């Protein structure tokens, strides 16, 4: 693949795996057709004269902003935890991610 | 009126609560109504005599789009994945409205996670256009626009990532203001695409939009992108005389592909303003044709990262799987609607190994070209006058199976978000099928005064705008 050339095909199976979204067979078929069409349309960007142009990750110029590093009380911890499907003592309860054996 | 003591805040809250109760069934504009909470808030205001405090919004009910946090209220972004979520804090914009005495009556419907232009992608079902229930109200803030247009609420707080305030405002016959990136704090707005998202308002008049902006604008320590730029008294500079506006008509916004009636409304508005003394000139924004592709790469890339947090661990829904990865995949499969999945997959693709330079980096460079287009034309004119969308309001269901076609109709609204500038939609005419047609003014970064003034001028010249029938 040449670096500046857009690629016209999207592997929906692979990308949905990366995105952690399980698709039904019907969704996979539909998304493949729709996303191929959308990605095909995006080839128009190849015609944009961007040589030597700086990227703009944000509109305008962003500057780093500092604030004093002082601890402040938060009343939110218990309420935030209570929004989780499972929680205990203001903590999220999540499944183990490592094999215990 | 509440300031003069002619009516109490509780009477105002009860009046609008009753209107919502009577008419919301036809529109599905509100997804959660908190009548009791608003009445409590109103009685408190009545008891403490806010007249003495000079609160600017004392007793004014403001609806809140379902992606902006109001402490103690649900905030679901119209998504199954956030069912049951209760906001633990107020968004800064909400806190500022609250500080001025605004009342919060309920939460408005939207496309899930603000992804859409028709409010058909909602876990609560579609919102209907108050002018004709067979038509969409636009989106993603369709609930907010429909509620304001039908007089169920005087104003609404919403978000605009690619036109989500301006396009539904235009489709429903309201004023919709998208401020400059950095003008209003996004703290407490659920993130969709962080370099594009901005909080703004939908109102019945330009004056109301100016007053609300005055309240919500300004630096906030909790949002590092909010700018330390002084906030003018917007509501007091509207009628500013002596300044002859120089209005640019971008030729790319009036080219082929724009529906005739939409184009005619813009041309008519230009003639009216010119007759009033404005200078109207044709200008060019040559990179406009790249805007839709550019926007849908940047917005979906950012969305794929922002929405990674919905993994079944910290919010609402969890669908158990054999291992954590399967739990993520199943939770997201059941929790997200189709358009959200489509955009997450597209964004993941644009950021994935081997494609990042070709898509995301390329899009960021094209964004620079689009920004420069605007910087150049704002050296020649004060504001731009354009369509909000190339199409009139369309029928419910008409475009749901053709996402690309729907994306293409965002072309005249996404540019303001890519460039970070401000824009406002103003209702101007009715189409042959009796639906509102809006026009848009775009202004330079932190040029809210000039777009508000232009919009106010056009509103005066236009005269009173008709109201949809059936909401008496």
Residue A26 lies in a domain: yes
Residue A57 lies in a domain: no
Which residue range(s) make up the domain with A41? 12-46
pLDDT at site B52: 57
The Cα–Cα gap between A83 and B158 comes to 23
Q: How far is A91 from chain B (nearest CA, A)?
A: 10
Q: How far is B102 from chain A (nearest CA, A)?
A: 23
Q: In the structure, what pLDDT confidence band is assigned to residue A64 with cuts at 50, 70 and 90? A: confident
pLDDT at site B454: 96
Q: Identify all chain A residues contacting B287, using CB atoms and an 8 Å cutoff.
A: 48
Residue A86 lies in a domain: no
Lowest mean pLDDT, pick from A22-26, B67-71, B355-359: B355-359
- CA closest to B289 among chain A residues: A44
Residue A53 lies in a domain: no
Our separate counts of H helices and E strands in chain B read: 14, 11
Residue A71 lies in a domain: no
Choose among B372, B366, B345: nearest CA to B285.
B372
State whether A80 and B88 contact (CB < 8 Å). yes
Q: What total number of domains does chain A contain? A: 1
Residue linked to tokens 């005087």 = B154
- CA closest to B422 among chain A residues: A59
A37 dihedral zone (left: phi>0; alpha: psi -120 to 50; beta): alpha
pLDDT one-digit tens code per residue, B382-413: 999 999 999 999 999 999 889 999 999 999 99
The reply to whether ipTM tops 0.90 is yes
The model's pTM is 0.96
Residue B177 has pLDDT above 70, yes or no: yes
pLDDT at site B4: 65
Mean pLDDT of the B434-442 span: 98
Residue A16 lies in a domain: yes
pLDDT one-digit tens code per residue, B216-238: 999 999 999 999 999 999 999 89
* Closest CB from B84, B88, B357 relative to A79: B88
Q: How far is B217 from chain A (nearest CA, A)?
A: 18
Q: Which residues contact B232 (CB under 8 A, 6 or more apart)?
A: B214, B448, B449
- DSSP for B293-329 reads HHHHHHHHHHHHHHGGG-SSSSSS-----SSHHHHHH
Return the residue in B187, B225, B311, B314 with the most chain A beta carbons within 10 A, the one to mutate for interface testing. B314
Mean pLDDT of the B148-167 span: 98
State whether A57 and B352 contact (CB < 8 Å). no
Per DSSP, the three-state class of B159 is strand
B140 is catalytic: yes
Q: In the structure, what pLDDT confidence band is assigned to residue A68 with cuts at 50, 70 and 90? A: confident
Q: Does B302 touch chain A (CB under 8 A)?
A: no
Choose among B199, B198, B210, B209: nearest CA to B174.
B209
pLDDT one-digit tens code per residue, A3-57: 445 556 799 999 999 999 999 999 999 999 999 999 999 999 999 999 999 999 9
Q: Identify all chain B residues contacting A74, using CB atoms and an 8 Å cutoff.
A: none
State whether B357 and A4 contact (CB < 8 Å). yes
Choose among B306, A99, A81: nearest CA to A90.
A81
Q: Does B89 touch chain A (CB under 8 A)?
A: yes
Return the residue in B348, B359, B446 with the most chain A beta carbons within 10 A, the one to mutate for interface testing. B348
The Cα–Cα gap between B361 and A55 comes to 7
Q: In the structure, what pLDDT confidence band is assigned to residue B256 with cuts at 50, 70 and 90? A: confident
In chain A, what is the greatest distance between 2 CA atoms, to the nearest angstrom? 57
Residue B167 has pLDDT above 50, yes or no: yes
Dihedral pair phi/psi, residue B105, rounded to 5°: -95, -25
Mean pLDDT of the B196-215 span: 98
Residue A25 lies in a domain: yes
Residue A70 lies in a domain: no
């Amino acid at each position: 693949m040449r670096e500046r050339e857009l690629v016209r095909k999207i592997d929906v199976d692979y990308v949905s795996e990366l995105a952690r979204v399980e698709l039904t067979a019907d969704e996979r078929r539909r998304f493949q057709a729709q996303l191929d069409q959308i990605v095909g349309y995006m080839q128009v960007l190849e015609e944009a004269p961007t040589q030597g142009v700086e990227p703009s990750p944000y509109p305008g110029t962003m500057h780093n902003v500092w604030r004093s590093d002082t601890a402040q009380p938060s009343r939110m911890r218990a309420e935030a935890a209570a929004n989780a499907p499972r929680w205990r003592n203001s903590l999220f309860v999540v499944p183990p991610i490592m094999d215990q054996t | 009126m509440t300031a003069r003591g002619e009516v109490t805040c509780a009477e105002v809250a009860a009046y609008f609560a009753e209107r919502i109760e009577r008419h919301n069934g036809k529109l599905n504009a509100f997804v959660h109504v908190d009548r009791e909470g608003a009445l409590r808030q109103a009685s408190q205001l009545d008891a403490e005599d806010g007249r003495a405090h000079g609160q600017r919004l004392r007793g004014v009910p403001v609806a809140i789009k379902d992606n902006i946090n109001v402490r103690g209220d649900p905030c679901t972004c119209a998504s199954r994945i956030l069912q049951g979520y209760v906001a633990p804090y107020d968004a800064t914009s909400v806190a500022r409205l609250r500080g001025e005495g605004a009342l919060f009556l309920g939460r408005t419907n939207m496309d899930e996670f603000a992804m859409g232009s028709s409010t058909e992608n909602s876990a609560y079902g579609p919102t209907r256009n108050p002018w004709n229930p067979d038509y969409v109200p636009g989106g993603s803030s369709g609930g907010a626009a429909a509620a304001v247009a039908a007089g169920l609420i005087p104003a609404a707080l919403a978000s605009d990532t690619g036109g989500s305030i301006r396009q539904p405002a235009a489709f429903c016959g309201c004023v919709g203001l998208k401020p400059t990136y950095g003008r209003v704090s996004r703290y407490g707005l659920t993130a969709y695409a962080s370099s594009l998202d901005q909080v703004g308002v939908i109102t019945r008049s330009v004056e109301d939009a100016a007053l609300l902006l005055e309240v919500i604008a300004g630096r906030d320590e909790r949002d590092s992108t909010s700018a330390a730029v002084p906030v003018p008294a917007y509501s007091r500079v509207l009628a500013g005389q002596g300044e002859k506006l120089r209005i640019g008509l971008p030729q790319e916004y009036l080219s082929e592909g724009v529906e005739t009636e939409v184009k005619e409304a813009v041309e008519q508005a230009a003639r009216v303003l010119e007759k009033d003394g404005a200078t109207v000139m044709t200008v060019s924004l040559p990179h406009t044709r790249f805007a839709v592709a550019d926007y849908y790469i940047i917005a979906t890339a950012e969305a794929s990262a922002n929405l990674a947090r919905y993994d079944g661990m910290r919010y609402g829904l969890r669908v158990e799987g054999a291992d954590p990865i399967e739990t993520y995949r199943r939770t997201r499969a059941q929790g997200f609607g189709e358009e959200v999945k489509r955009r997450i997959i597209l964004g993941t693709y644009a950021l994935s190994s081997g494609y990042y330079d070709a898509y995301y980096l390329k899009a960021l460079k094209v964004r620079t070209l689009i920004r420069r287009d605007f910087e150049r034309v704002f050296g020649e004119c004060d504001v731009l006058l354009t369509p909000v969308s190339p199409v009139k309001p369309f029928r419910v269901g008409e475009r749901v199976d053709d996402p690309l076609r729907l994306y293409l109709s965002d072309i005249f609204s996404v540019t303001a978000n890519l460039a970070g500038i401000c824009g406002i939609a103003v209702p101007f005419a009715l189409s042959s099928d009796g639906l509102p047609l809006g026009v848009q003014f775009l202004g330079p970064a932190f040029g809210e005064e000039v777009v508000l003034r232009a919009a106010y001028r056009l509103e005066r010249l236009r005269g009173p705008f008709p109201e949809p029938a059936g909401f008496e």
